[in-house]
A and B are shown apart, each in its own frame.
Chain A
Amino acid sequence: MLRYALKRLGLGIIIVSVAMMMLFAMVYVIPGDPASVALGPRATQEMVESLRARMGLDQPIWIQFARFYMSAFRGDLGTEVLSGRPVLTVVLEQLPFTLTLIAGAISWSVLLGIPLGCIAAVKRGGFVDRVIGVLSVAVIAVPSFVIAIYSLLIFAVALQWLPAIGAGEPGNVISQLRHLILPSLAVGLGWVGYIARIVRASMLETLEASHIRTARAFGLTDRRITYSYALRIAVLPTITLLGVGIGHMLSSSVFAEIVFARPGIGKLVYEAISVRNYPIVTGAVLVTTVFFVVVNVIADIVIGALDPRVRASFD
């Protein structure tokens, strides 16, 4: 188990480094000069040049990359030139907002997706099953930013039920929850569909399993069989799915954060790219890709914890 996790992690590190190398190469060819953008219209040529030197931009790309990489391993992602604040701090300040958003999205997708998938499986072939099936496909198909804009239009602008912008008042949990509902719905709605579908499929498969027949033959109630014996197995693929899903949710959180003017990693990167704040871009992308890879490893470990069979196969 441990060896497996370490191996996965090792591969993850390689993937992340290749990804960062690619990002560096891309960032290097982006037109536009971060130094002159940062200083604004009143900067003199000398100031721009000295800032460039401080940002390390006068160095060749591989030196920039090697420097970045060496210090990244020590947990130092460099400093933002203008404010002099550590990039890691800036990124980690924003991370909780995105994590909350993703957690909210996962809550939506799990709280709606698992029951819907379950109901669809239990009522297999019936009208309810069909409706759930079509709805699942539909929410998967519609892009999250369209959902974001429409839900903003309907619930925040027209009905005024929920706040439109921001992450809520700091320290006020109710206000933060209220601000979380719409953005997390926009990010998570598609995943309601994915989860409903996968739970339905795996529930149907599980209900056919012989241990379910055993349970029935022992006179266990259908409720216990469905929700305790079968569901426990049927939700397992959900975890792998969510492991992959978190990467996608990170992506769609960019839109949700822009539409709902929420702080977060996505917005941070979006804004940093537009002003060529490279330390922030590379730092934030590094943190998110590491996060993504780690999440996948964790998903595997969690599955191992929940499914003794998988655990056995790792030993």
Chain B
Amino acid sequence: MTVLDIRDLSVDFATESGALQALRKVSMSVPENRIVGVVGESGCGKSTLINAILGLLADNGEVTSGEILFEGTHDLTTLAGTAMRDLRGQKIATVFQDPMGALNPVLSVGRQMRDIQYRSNLSRREKDARSIEMLRKVRIPDAEQRLVQFPHEFSGGMKQRIAIAMALMMEPSLLIADEPTTALDATLEVTIIELLKELQQQIGCSVLFISHHLGVIAELCDEMIVMYAGEVVESGTTRDVFHNARHPYTRKLLACDPARLTHRARRLPTIPGTLPDLRNRPEGCVFQARCELADATCSRMPPDEEIAPGHLARCWHTEASVMIGAGA
């Protein structure tokens, strides 16, 4: 069964200088009990995608087409406010990137963990017990004492573990992890990844894992999608995409991934050129301006070429693209 199935999703933002298309015809799915990675540069639409799934698009954002099917039945784009809210935290949980800012600074950790259990009928004491249990699961020492503490009294890694504990507390069927390790240093990153993997198996949920760190994706994810300028340019199993990338953008991304070099770095080296102006998308392929294979064909919308079963690339030149990055 598919936990999350997104079809042809487009999202526009109204700005002073006209409509900005943040997502265009995005399709992807997260199967049950699998970890799906999303990778792409900043501004590629990852955050918009998450917000669209969570129903937290800013005031000026609007879903112009497509649907987001959750557990096959609910279309999240049309769900009413309260129904959507009932899913959040309950069925769909999220861990955000910035552990420093993700917790409310003026409320104790215990209070915040208790608050998110507001739908349950447990007593206050039972809720706290559940919180302690979760904190133990994410390996926070002295969980009872720490419940009354405030976020600033925890280290960054601990905060992120608390965030994970909170996210998994209600045993959701989908966990969205939005770059949960980006702000942490390398050793912490490894422990968090391992923790996530372990808990995912324990609870048996699906994970949508967003990162621009290809190494993490490779290590953690079963499947992955590559986004560029609000479009999914390539998707497939992690193995397929890493070993047989066919979209020129994916190839370039892989080519300059520091993880393939000797040491890790936190920021992707840049690909020459800049993102297209999303208020004024080019006709056809969105990557053409930065693509060395671009030709007249590219001014028409490229198809989602199936390279292998389940491995798609949105490009006219999936054959020729194997040459890109080969020499790098």
Chain A residues within 8 Å of B, Cβ to Cβ: 209-221, 224, 229, 232-233, 236, 306-309, 312
Contact = CB atoms under 8 A, between A and B. Distances in A.
Contacts of B102: 210-211, 214
Contact of A214 (B85, B96, B106): B96
Contacts of B104: 211-212, 214-215, 229, 232-233
B89 interface: yes
Given A214-B102, A219-B116, 19 more contacts: A211-B101, A217-B93, A217-B176, A218-B89, A218-B116, A218-B166, A219-B85, A219-B87, A219-B90, A219-B119, A220-B89, A224-B115, A229-B104, A307-B105, A308-B105, A308-B106, A308-B151, A308-B152, A308-B153
Contacts of A232: 104, 106-107
A306 B106 contact: yes
Q: Which 4 A-B pairs have the closest CB atoms?
A: A219-B89, A219-B88, A218-B89, A217-B94
B185 interface: no
B150 A218 contact: no
Contacts of A213: 56, 96
Interface in B121-177: 150-153, 163, 166, 176
Interface centre among B87, B93, B152 (most CB of A within 10 A): B152
A312 B152 CA distance: 8
Nearest to B54: A217
B101 A210 contact: yes
Contacts of A224: 115, 118
Nearest to A124: B59
Contacts of A218: 88-89, 93-94, 115-116, 166
Contacts of B115: 215, 218, 220, 224
B98 to A, nearest CB: 5
B86 interface: yes
A211 to B, nearest CB: 5
B233 interface: no
Given A224-B115, A308-B150, A217 B105 contact: no
B4 interface: no
B152 A214 contact: no
Given A211-B105, A233-B105, A217 B96 contact: yes
Interface residues of B, number: 32
A220 B116 contact: yes
8 contacts: A211-B101, A216-B54, A217-B56, A217-B89, A219-B89, A219-B119, A220-B115, A233-B105
B103 interface: yes
Nearest to B100: A210
A303 B116 CA distance: 26
Contacts of B176: 217
A141 B102 CA distance: 39
Nearest to B112: A215
Interface centre among A220, A221, A224, A307 (most CB of B within 10 A): A220
Contacts of A308: 105-106, 150-153
Contacts of B107: 229, 232
A220 B56 CA distance: 12
A235 to B, nearest CB: 10
A220 B85 CA distance: 7
A210 B182 CA distance: 15
A309 B105 contact: yes
Contacts of B96: 210, 213-214, 217
A215 B88 CA distance: 10
A233 B85 contact: no
Given A308-B150, A308-B152, A221 B106 contact: no
Interface centre among A214, A221, A232 (most CB of B within 10 A): A214
Contacts of A306: 106
A232 B54 CA distance: 25
Nearest to B90: A219
Contacts of B151: 308
Nearest to A313: B152
A219 B94 CA distance: 10
A242 B166 CA distance: 37
A231 B31 CA distance: 39
Nearest to B51: A213
Interface centre among B54, B96, B104, B115 (most CB of A within 10 A): B104
Contacts of B116: 218-220
Nearest to B99: A210
Contacts of B87: 219
A309 B152 contact: yes
Contacts of B152: 308-309, 312
Contacts of A216: 54, 56, 88
Nearest to B47: A213
B54 A209 contact: no
A312 B149 CA distance: 12
A213 B103 CA distance: 10
A229 to B, nearest CB: 5
A221 B89 contact: no
A219 B56 CA distance: 11
A312 to B, nearest CB: 5
B101 A217 contact: no
Contacts of A209: 101
Contacts of A233: 104-106
A42 to B, nearest CB: 66
